[in-house]
A and B are shown apart, each in its own frame.
Chain A
Amino acid sequence: MKSNTDEKVILDTSELRFIEGHGRLVVKSIGTDLKAEFHNIEGPRFLTRYLVGKPAEMAPLVASRICGLCYTAHSINSAECVEKALGMKLSKEVQMMRNVLYLANNLRSHMMHLLYLSIPPIEGLISVLRLRDRELFRSGAKLLAKSTELIELWGGRSVHVPNVVVGGFGTLVKGKQLMDSIKSLEAFMDDARKIVNYTLGLELPELERYRPLGSLKKAGSYPIYSESAPLALNDGSVMDAGEFYSELEEIVKDYSTSKQVHFRGSELTVGALSRIILNRRYLRPESRALSDQIEWRINPFLIIKAQAIEVLHYLEELIAAGEQLYDVFIEPSSNDYQTCKLSQGEVTACSGSGEGVSIAEAPRGVLCHSCKIEDGLIKDYRVYTPTAINSLSIELDAVELVKRFKPLGNEKLEPILEDMVRGYDPCLSCAVSLDVYSQDK
């Protein structure tokens, strides 16, 4: 048997800067081969284990704490998997409100990622606060603040939204407030345009590598959150949430506090680039026109450009949603704004048994929550995050990158490698939800 002694570390980023959670990337050579290890060193908080034995209505509250950036996605996915397990049907109003909340969540997360985390290091800056173009920074900060404000208004708090509950929403959404908040978004279109133009103008490395891509699919629209939308791959195949879940495999790596999630025994790339490649014809008009100027290829460096296009698209989508919401939420017979009741107005205890899987397009890609419930109590709860799914792609891209750019030497190679990892917008706090101690599904 060949020993491991000829393994040699050729590159080690040490703790990665500008990412959520704690991680590092190590590239090793084994003889003539290369191998990369994406280390998650974030500690687990065992949140999904805490849910076992607890009342099902607690799921969104606890799941929200998985992530400080995409908490709204976790809350909504969580409520939905419980609702599916218990056979609860949601009203059209609830689905529409969850959709707009999801849009605001993805907008906020993308803005945070582009502005604070990904653009500064690409531009060789120590911080976004050193960006020369102050107007650009202010536009970004305005969009970040506005999306946070929407989440606060619709979700009940700016971070960890208490208003998303099993069965709908906890409280009444005031018609006028809702309409005004959406109407105010038109004033932010120019800010979004600035961000998009700037990001699309960045010169980024070439790293095309073919691999399976996955994204939710919803005929006729760009997918984010939809109760019954299936998942589509770039090979044209389509599967529902349950089928997708059954194809996922948990892989332990002795260098990572979180398990990797493999799809059909191999990699799957999810996220903004996969969404754009599979669904760009459904982007809103202005975003689509900008997207058409780009030759989309499977290059991880293009993820941030896809995110920038999505920032504009989400804004266009939110503004367009205003009209649909008006039709549903405002009584046509009256010219006045009406107060609309979305659910019972309080959190109700869950009863019943069943199993449920929910999938949705969180900012970083397909997010999957699954639960088993017996007599209203949670028996099993699992979260497969986009970062856990993308981890293998990050490693394979790292190997490819080192192969192609090795002549540059380590000093120049390392920042490019970091930019590549950061492009995926990894969240190690999210990924560790599937901790190394957890029982396989």
Chain B
Amino acid sequence: MKLAFYSLTSCEGCLTTLITNLGSHLETLWNIFDIDYFKLVREPVGGSKIPKADIAFVEGAVVTNHDRERLIEIRKNSSFVVALGTCATTGNIAYNASRDLDLSENKLKDTEINKAEPLSSVITVDFELSGCPVDAEEFTMALLRLINNIEPIQPDYSVCYECKQKGNECILEKKKVCLGPLAMGGCGAACPSVGSPCYSCRGLALEADLPAYLLTLDKKGISKEKAIMMLKTFTGKKTKELLSSEKQY
């Protein structure tokens, strides 16, 4: 079976997470699969040409013309495409950071810079694995299911759920914004566990209920504006869609 790992516009933190956190398992992957493209790990087979792959994992957002062209080529050559990490699933911070910028003046000879988009704005994505960065265990589980022809699944719980399991003190109870109730779990509540609020860097929970959440903030006297600003940071296009569908906001 052929695997390929690509990187578009990103910090490459998702692919480095896989390298460092898989540890010796990376060697196992290398021995079991044909990994024909993984720029940080090997000289690509076929040089800069996109090789045929059964499963392609793509990190990063689509920003440049090169990103777009490559992504279309990747889709053509891959049977199954997984969007890896929040840049790929929502456009991440770059999505809203680029919305108000005037990028119309083309400043460069060979590279066009556009407003950031998640992969799904350009191609059909078969599965989304969120996270900033992505979680190596979640990646492994998804891969195991895929190679066994079982549909991969996303965590069906919020960060709040994991935070409670850890016995952390609730940040909302301290009258501070925390996006835990809206955020997709799977990170083990990394931020609240060290006293930082959740910014929903893994995107929205499957059952994220924004009206109910905002009502809770209201009751507690916590700023809704700040919550929306925080929500827009990592959830990019997903929140834009959510906000436009929930007319009451």
Q: A residues near B, CB below 8 A?
A: 14-15, 17-18, 20-22, 39, 41-47, 49-50, 54, 58, 61-62, 65-69, 71, 108, 112, 116-117, 121, 126-129, 138, 141, 144-145, 148, 156-160, 162-163, 165, 169-171, 252, 254-257, 344-347, 429, 435-437
Determine how close the nearest CB of chain A comes to the CB of B21; give it in whole angstroms: 6
CA distance A191 to B218 in the complex (A): 55
Q: Give the contacts of B71-90 with A (CB-CB under 8 A).
A: 87
Q: Which A residues touch B110, using CB under 8 A?
A: 39, 41, 255
Q: Is the CB of A437 within 8 A of B109?
A: no
Complex Cα–Cα for A67 and B12 (A): 7
Q: Which residues of B contact A (CB under 8 A)?
A: 7-17, 19-21, 23-24, 26-27, 30, 39-44, 47-48, 61, 63-64, 66-67, 87, 92-94, 96-98, 101, 103, 107-111, 113, 116, 132-133, 171, 174, 176, 187, 190-191, 193-197, 199, 201, 229, 233
Question: In the complex, which residue of chain B has the Cβ closest to the Cβ of A126?
Answer: B43
- In the complex, what distance in Å separates the CA atom of A157 from the CA atom of B186? 13
Name the CB-closest residue of A to B201: A160
A160 to chain B, nearest CB (A): 6
In whole Å, how far is B23's beta carbon from the nearest beta carbon of chain A? 5
Query: CB within 8 A of B191: which of A62, A162, A256?
Result: A162
| A375–B57 alpha-carbon span in the complex (Å) | 43
A contact residues around B111 at 8 Å (CB): 41, 257
Does A116 contact B19, Cβ atoms closer than 8 Å? yes
Contact sample, A vs B, 19 pairs, CB 8 Å cutoff: A14-B47, A14-B48, A43-B116, A44-B9, A45-B10, A45-B87, A46-B94, A47-B94, A65-B13, A65-B132, A67-B11, A127-B30, A144-B20, A159-B133, A160-B13, A162-B190, A171-B194, A346-B171, A346-B195
A148 to B150, CA, bound (A): 32
Chain A residue nearest to B64 (CB atoms) is A43
Q: Is the CB of A45 within 8 A of B16?
A: no
**Are B93 and A47 in contact (CB-based, < 8 A)?**
yes
Known A156-B193, A165-B196; contact A43-B39, beta-carbon cutoff 8 A: no
Q: Is A129's CB under 8 angstroms from B27's CB?
A: yes
Main secondary structure on chain A at its contact with chain B? loop
**Contact of A112 (CB < 8 Å), options: B16, B39, B42:** B16
**Residue pair B11, A429 in contact (C-beta under 8 Å):** yes
Q: Are B233's CB and A129's CB within 8 A? A: no
Say yes or no: A345 contacts B113, CB within 8 Å.
no
Q: Is B64 touching A257 in the complex (CB atoms < 8 A)?
A: yes
Contact in complex: A159, B41 (CB < 8 Å): no
A41, B66: Cβ atoms closer than 8 Å: yes
Known: A43-B8, A254-B109, A436-B113. 14 other contacts (CB 8 A): A15-B48, A45-B98, A46-B93, A50-B93, A61-B196, A65-B93, A66-B11, A68-B10, A126-B43, A129-B27, A129-B42, A144-B23, A157-B190, A347-B195
| CB contact between A68 and one of B17, B41, B193, B201 (< 8 Å): that residue | B17
A156 surroundings in chain B (CB, below 8 A): 190-191, 193-194, 196
Q: Point out the residue from A14, A20, A67, A145 that lies within 8 Å of B40, measured CB to CB.
A: A20
Whether B15 and A68, one on each chain, are in contact in the complex, defined by CB atoms closer than 8 angstroms, is yes
Q: How far, in whole Å, are A247 and B50 apart by their CA atoms in the complex?
A: 43
Beta-carbon contact of B171 and A127 below 8 Å: no
